Each structure stands twice: as C-alpha cells, then as structure tokens.
Structure 1
Amino acid sequence: MTQPIIHPIDVILHKRDGLVLNDAEIQAFIRAIVERTAENQLVTDAQIASFLMAVFQRGLNPQELATLTQAMRYSGDTFDAAPLHTFTIDKHSTGGVGDKTSLLIAPTLAAAGLAHLTPAGVPGICVPMISGRSLGHTGGTLDKLETIPGFNTQLNLTQLAGTLRKCGAALIGQTPRIVPADRTLYALRDHTGTVESPFLITASIMSKKLAESLNALVLDVKVGSGAFMPTYEQSKFLAQLMVQTGESSGTRTVALLTSMDQPLGRFSGNWVEVWECIDIMQGQRHAMSHDLIEISNILSGWMLHLAGRTTTPEEGATLADQILQSGEAYKAWLKIIAAQGGDTSIFQNPSAFHKPKASRILKAETSGYLASMDCKQVGWAVQRLGAGRAKPGDPVSAHAGIEMHAKLGDKLEAGQPLATLFSEDPALLDEPEHMLRETLEITAAPPALQPLIHEIVTKN
C-alpha cells in the first residue's frame, strides 16, 4: 500500500493550529531537511523557520518530543558502542562560565574504567564525550582542548572507537554526519527567536547524546544568573524533559540542577581552564578551585554509580576524589591527549605556556563582602577579552580570560585583588574591566549563599 505524501506546509499548519503531530509527520519533516539539495528544496528555510516557531508557541507532548528526538538522532551516522562490550556513559552541561568539569570527569571515569577491564580487554567504562564550542557568554570544551598543540578533536567514528578501546574516554566534536538535522535546526533557531524553547533544546541536546549509543547519561543543568534558562522553574522543566526523553529511549538519565551564580573554579577562558584542571590532577588544589572539584566529583559520582561501580552516588563522589588525588586521572588524561595527537610536554609547566600580551588587575574599591554578580555579564566580559565568540565561526584567543581572586561571600579589604584580566590585545581590556566593575557588588553584610547542588531530577 502506497504511503500518503506528507507536505511540509501541512505539518506546519497542524502544529500552528495546536494539533498533535503523528510520528509519520515528524519523521517526514526531518527527512526532508536532511535529504534536500540546492536543486531539490524538499523543504525551504522559511518552512523550517515556521515549524520552529510553531513548536516554540505550541510546545510538544511527550510522544511528539520523543519522535522528534529519535528522528534527529538517526538523521545521520550514529556511534555503535556494542562491539566494545563496555558500559558507555557521558555527561552534558547546559553551559556556564568557567565550566570545565568535562576536563576532570572524562579522565576520572577513564581511570575507573581502565582499572576494570572487560573480558574483551576494553575499559569497563567508556566515555565518548562529544562536546561543543563557545557561543555567547558560555565557554566551549572544544576551544579549551584545541589550545593543546596538536590535539585533534575531529575524530571519525572509527577513530573514536579505537581511542575508547585504548583510553576509556575520548573528547571530540560533532562530525558533519552526526545528527545533521540538528545543524540546520540549530542555525535557524539562532535567527528566528526560538533558541529558548525547552522542547527544541531537549531535542537538540538529547539527539546528539543518544547518537553516542549511551547506557547512561548525567546532565548538569545550570540555574542562576549565568544559566542559559532565565528562571529556576524553566531550568527544572528543561531537566525534566531531558530526563524523560533519555529514559524513554532506554538510556538511564539523571539531571542535577547546579548553581551558576559565579564562575566555576578559578579561571574562565580557554588555556587557563586547562591549566586549572592540570593543577588539580597533579595534586595542586587552589582554594578558588574548591567548587569545581566538588561539582566534578559529584557528577563523576553519579556516573560511577549508574555504571555500577558504587552502590550510591555519594560513594561514587568519594571514589572520584580518590582517583583525582591518586594521580590516576592525570595518567588517564595524558593517555587520552597523546592518543588524540596532543603534545603532553606542555603539562610539565602549564603556567609557562600561558602567554597573554596584556593583563590588568581589578581591585576592590571598598572593604566588605563580595555579595553578588551577574554571572552572565562576567561571561560576556570573558568573551570581549577574546576568549569567546559572538557568532559561530569567530576566532577565539587561547590566552584571553579572567582569574577570579574571590568567591561570593568572601570578606575583602579595600585594594584587595578581585580579578585579573588577560588578553592578547591591550585594547580589549577596557570594556571588560568596566563590565566587571559594574557587576561585582561589595556590601557591608555577608550575603546568603546558594547551594552548589539545588536539586536532582530522576525518572521518579
């Protein structure tokens, strides 16, 4: 029996009018996006934009969201982890300022996996970490990794499998053939005012993560002034959607709502964030890195728990910290970097590799307590120094960034350093300095501080 032809305009009209789209309609629309050519426009950019706006306005029910995510997931190549005979798990963050947990979590889990080889001789846990680039006020893991000379983030799926088999983890970017539908949708969301749709965000994130053939996934959903979603309620709704979508696809999924009211750790930028993580893995724990270490261990703990290494997430966090302190994570890190072509010699003296052409120290004008900041504005200051990009394709500086010298709640004296700004162009220092002076608030009374972990969302 011949299947009826589904026209893109009918799909748009159905969603615009509040009707529920069936599986065939969603699958046909995504297929048209992927299969269109310059000569044969099965669906136009205008129609895709209209579909995005209709979803933004009307939302999706659980079945529609699940079908959209799966259609995007299988719109191109997917990674098949089955031949590795291992437990495959990943972590995803919705993005923040100074958020470098991936650089600690991947080698920590790799070390745990290398300690328990499967009968096939493969690490017992594998982390195929597909990461992104900086955009707007948030940093990107790939930009940080690519400050390491020679490091190759563009592995194909065969190379990914080989690196996982050897190292237990790999840190790569999305290839052109992994979830190609998302590339089109993502680009048009940025131009159509539909970026903030929790349904479109969920489909975008989860389609890429599920394409990794994961057994489990831990999500770090940011809340606070530096978060992508503007309110706590919206962040929690997004977390619930992603957990629901992951679980319905057969992937154990947990989301942690974590604070992003200030930069995470000591540094925000590209190489400086790698440097901070190297120090931690080499046993040098700076006081400003305490929150970074804690949240990395908590996220790793959940991953180790889901992978069956510990009976509770708390035991997992303790094990993760032991792996970090023992130096095993650093050994795993060196193995991953070398396997992906990176020069590991620079880690012998990471501070010497940091060579910005200009720097400036911002000092407290009054005594008191560091009470608040707009973390998003701090992120934009990092971007204006040259460490981030305003639009896809912009170049980024390896050595631009900010070192924070105080955390929220810290007592300060007038003249005490608050932050050091780094740039490869002295002319770029003035605007970020003004932005930081404008947002870093010092008060006479200590502030009420938010917890690092607000809430944990599971399928129950």
Structure 2
Amino acid sequence: MSKKADAALHMIDLIRKKRDGGVLDADEIGFIVTGTASGTIPLEQLSAWLMAAWLNGLTIDETRALAVAMRDSGEKFDPSRLGKQAVDKHSTGGVGDKTSFLVAPLAAACGVAVPMISGRALGHTGGTLDKLDSIPGFRSALTLTEFEAVLGQCGAAIVSQTPTLVPADRVLYALRDRTGTVESPGLICASILSKKLAAGLNALVLDVKTGSGAFLRKRANAEYLAALMVATAEAAGTRTVALLTDMGQPLGRTAGNWIEVAECVELLRGEMPEESSDLRELSLRLAGWMIHLGGGTKTADQGYWAAAGALADGTALKLFLEMVKAQGGDLAVFDDLKVSHKPGATQELKAWKSGYVAAMDTMELGWAVQRLGAGREKAGEPVDPNAGIEFHAKRGARVEGGQPFATLYATNETMLAEPVERIKRAITFSDEPPETVPLVSHIFAREDAEAYLRDAIR
C-alpha cells in the first residue's frame, strides 16, 4: 500500500478537487470505489462527484483506474473451467438495440463461450434485462455457480450483476441515470469495462453507437469513447475491437421489450423482413468478430459467414431456446409471438405527410418508447413488457400521407398522446431520398485506438 493510501482521504476534498478541474490518482479513485461498494460514502456525495466528473471529464488514467477499481470491488468470474475462449459483446446503448439476443447464440454456436453480463434501461435506451424479463419465468439474477452451469450447458448466458460482482458499478450506474450524468466517455467506459473485465473475458467486441440516438451523438465523442475502451481493455489483457455503428434510426423495426425479443426470434427462425435487415446484418458482423477473436476463424469475414451458417441451419435458434429454458424461461411464450403480446392500449399512427423519411431523431423516439411504459424514470420502477413501438417505415423509405407509419403499444390509453407528439417531432420528411449512412463506419483495433488517443486533444 502506498504512503498516500495510508493518509486520510476525505470525500469532500475529492469532490472539490474534481469540481475545480483537478485529476485524481489511483489511490483517490480507489477510495471512492471502495466507499461506494461498502456504502460508507453518502449518495449525495457520490452524486456530486459524478456531476463534477461529468462536467470536467475523466482523463485516460482516471478512467483506467476507475475501471480496474470497480472490477476489483467484488468477486470475479473465472470462465477457464469451460475449456473455451470467453468472448462477449457490449453496446453503448441505443433504441431498438437488441443484438445481444442474436450474437450470443450465434457466437456460441460457433464454439466460443459467451458470458454476457447486461444491464437495465438507462435514460432513453432500453435494457437487455428488461426485455428478457418479458419472457415468463426467465431468471437473469443467477449466482456465479448457476452462471457457469448455464454456460457449460448452452455456451451462452445473459445475466445481471450478482450482489458481489462489481458492486460499486451497480450503485454508480443507478445514480448516473438519476442525476443526468450518463453521457460521459470516462464514466461509460469504466462502467462497461468493469463488468466485462470482471467476467474474465479473453476477448471483447464493442458496439459503439453514433448519431441521433446515441448517448454521445457527436461522431468525434463516439470515436474517442471507442478508442478509450479498446485501449483500456487491451491494457487490462483483454483482446478488444470496437465497431462504430449507426444509431441515426432505431435498429430493426421494433423498440420496446417483448416486441424486440419477438423480432429476434423471427430472425433466428429464418424470417427476413426488410425492416429488420440492418439488425440481422449488424448482428452477423458483431458475431463474426466475436468468433474471430475467440480463435474460431482466421478473419472476421470468415467469422461472419460462420455465424450466417449457424443462423441458416437453425443451430443458433436451438441454443437461444436452450439458454432461455436453462434460465427458467417458459418456451411456450414463443409458440405464437403475437398472442404473447398483450398491450394495454394500441394506436396505429398514420403518416401525417408524404415524402421520404429523411432523418429520425432517435433519442426523441427512445423517450417516446419510455413514455409508453417500456422504460423507467426512477431506479427500481417496473416496466411494461408489452409497451413499445413498431415502425412500418424507416429512414430512406417513401411514404404517402395516411399510410401506417408506426404502431404504438402503451400501458393504458392515457399514455399514448405524448409519444405520438414526440414521434411527429422526431421525423423529418423530404422530397428527395437522403444519402445512405453506413451501418458500420469505422473499426478500432488496439493499434488504431492507441494512435487515436495519442493524437486526441481532450
């Protein structure tokens, strides 16, 4: 232990230091994380420090120290007994972002173990665990022993943090959602990587969103976050790559809880609706990288085609259903996907103009989904598994006034009006089709990330 660690540290001093633009060292970061995990630092002080960190930013060294300290704030999972390379995927969050339900079984079908520790709704984005909760009986709160057993049986498991796994992040994650301090590259990076590093991963694929529905809407900020996460994870010994992907529109055709699970099951069954083509393509590309980094193929392109094979022959669907059953889910819910969807209120929104869908303010659409009952305003609030939006037209589509544009599913009739107005504000129509936006615009490997950070001025 360093001499500084032996010296008395006080949270109010660290709040002031960060508030005034100072840089905290590893001992000071460790003090905050230890106090967070033990509950000895009051929530109001943690909230103040988060705001100071959000306003002034975290340096690269602060971010790395925070990620490692949070990783070490509780027990860690050891996947070595599985006899496979442990590889995971993580997204920085978006609207309709449901690739986890596809990439986990796709990668597992190609021989890698996928120990996926996921979270709940944060801000305008949906939560993987909230979506899985729409499956009757599904348990995401597994012990580490149960987690390992499901992985051994199915090759993949999607779970929540245990009370003893990265406990500091659980506290800070909830506080960020309630204090308006979500959109911070350093805090996002440390939160994501603390959980992933605690899972003992051999490799990690990051899906970093950019565009109107991303937490970091400016491309430069998204690039910085991607580079920061890759470099931080690589420094901790985990092979990592980040794909910069488009969140200028919802991914796929649905945004909500059950309807997103249902859309993924349709794809796993071999259905190929046009409005879901971007979801299918991105999932195959992410899974391809996971398979490649896990040693299954020599290149990511070969991994893509291996994943496509597992999708086509039904292997991925079989593994997904096995995983759901192993985690307590009732498979009968998949017998008829429409019958299982029972929203309290439904409204079909018809196009209010004619023209091409030129742009979508996806963050505004995310808040519309949240207001329908699919998200939460306070930590611990229940969410409606049947709430959400199904889009019948996406960016670039030509629509005529009066044709169906979206179907809204709400908890009750009174919750429909505000989301309708939000959708109308979020959509821009034009007389000419918009330029095509690439689904994946850049890929950061270790060398690219380190070079970017050297040149970055922050």
| TM-score of the superposed pair, with normalisation by structure 2 | 0.92
Residue identity opposite 1:303 in structure 2: M
Q: CA deviation at 1:146?
A: 1.0
Match among 337, 355, 367 for residue 380 of structure 1: 367
1:40-439, aligned counterparts within 5 Å?
41=40, 43-113=41-111, 125-439=112-426
**Structure 2 contact 107–288 (Cα < 8 Å) conserved:** no
**Structure 2 contact 268–317 (Cα < 8 Å) conserved:** yes
Q: CA deviation at 1:181?
A: 1.2
What is the distance in 1 between the residues matched to 2:216 and 2:25? Answer: 29
Q: Deviations over 1:18-63 (max 9, x none)?
A: 5554433332332233334xxxx4x444443444344334444433
**Structure 1 contact 136–391 (Cα < 8 Å) conserved:** no
Q: Secondary structure at the match of 2:86?
A: strand
Correspondence for 2:456: none
**Structure 1 contact 363–417 (Cα < 8 Å) conserved:** yes
Q: Deviations over 1:242-264 (max 9, x none)?
A: 11110000001111111111111
Structure 1 position 6 matched with structure 2 position 8: yes
Q: Which consecutive unaligned segments of at least 5 residues does structure 1 have?
A: 114-124
Residue identity opposite 1:183 in structure 2: R
The number of residues matched between the two structures is 444
Residue identity opposite 1:342 in structure 2: G
Moved more, 60-69 or 378-387: 60-69
Match among 16, 30, 34 for residue 31 of structure 1: 34
Q: CA deviation at 1:459?
A: 0.9
Moved more, 422-431 or 48-57: 48-57
Correspondence for 2:439: 452
**Structure 2 contact 182–215 (Cα < 8 Å) conserved:** no
What is the distance in 1 between the residues matched to 2:404 and 2:396? Answer: 15
Moved more, 54-63 or 337-346: 54-63
Q: CA deviation at 1:6?
A: 3.3
Change over 3 Å in CA distance of 1:10–1:356 after alignment to 2? closer
What is the distance in 1 between the residues matched to 2:71 and 2:145? Answer: 18
Change over 3 Å in CA distance of 1:19–1:105 after alignment to 2? same
Residue identity opposite 2:231 in structure 1: Q
Q: CA deviation at 1:194?
A: 3.4
Q: Secondary structure at the match of 1:87?
A: coil
Q: Percent same amino acid among aligned pairs?
A: 52
What is the distance in 2 between the residues matched to 1:430 and 1:14? Answer: 46
Change over 3 Å in CA distance of 1:48–1:286 after alignment to 2? same
Q: Secondary structure at the match of 2:108?
A: helix
What is the distance in 1 between the residues matched to 2:321 and 2:280? Answer: 19
| TM-score of the superposed pair, with normalisation by structure 1 | 0.91
Q: Deviations over 1:327-373 (max 9, x none)?
A: 11011011101111111122122122112232221122333211112
Change over 3 Å in CA distance of 1:409–1:327 after alignment to 2? same
Residue identity opposite 1:87 in structure 2: Q
Change over 3 Å in CA distance of 1:27–1:307 after alignment to 2? same
Q: Deviations over 1:186-225 (max 9, x none)?
A: 3443455533221122111111111100001111111111
What is the distance in 2 between the residues matched to 1:452 and 1:441? Answer: 20
Change over 3 Å in CA distance of 1:21–1:428 after alignment to 2? closer
Residue identity opposite 2:86 in structure 1: T
**Structure 1 contact 387–399 (Cα < 8 Å) conserved:** yes
Change over 3 Å in CA distance of 1:16–1:430 after alignment to 2? closer
What is the distance in 1 between the residues matched to 2:180 and 2:376? Answer: 19
Residue identity opposite 2:277 in structure 1: H
RMSD: 2.0
Correspondence for 2:452: none
What is the distance in 2 between the residues matched to 1:393 and 1:234? Answer: 30
Change over 3 Å in CA distance of 1:364–1:159 after alignment to 2? same
What is the distance in 2 between the residues matched to 1:92 and 1:11? Answer: 31
Residue identity opposite 1:384 in structure 2: R
What is the distance in 2 between the residues matched to 1:374 and 1:57? Answer: 25
Q: Deviations over 1:85-137 (max 9, x none)?
A: 22001111111111110011111112112xxxxxxxxxxx1111111111332
**Structure 1 contact 135–390 (Cα < 8 Å) conserved:** no
**Structure 1 contact 135–392 (Cα < 8 Å) conserved:** no
Q: Secondary structure at the match of 2:113?
A: strand
Residue identity opposite 1:419 in structure 2: A
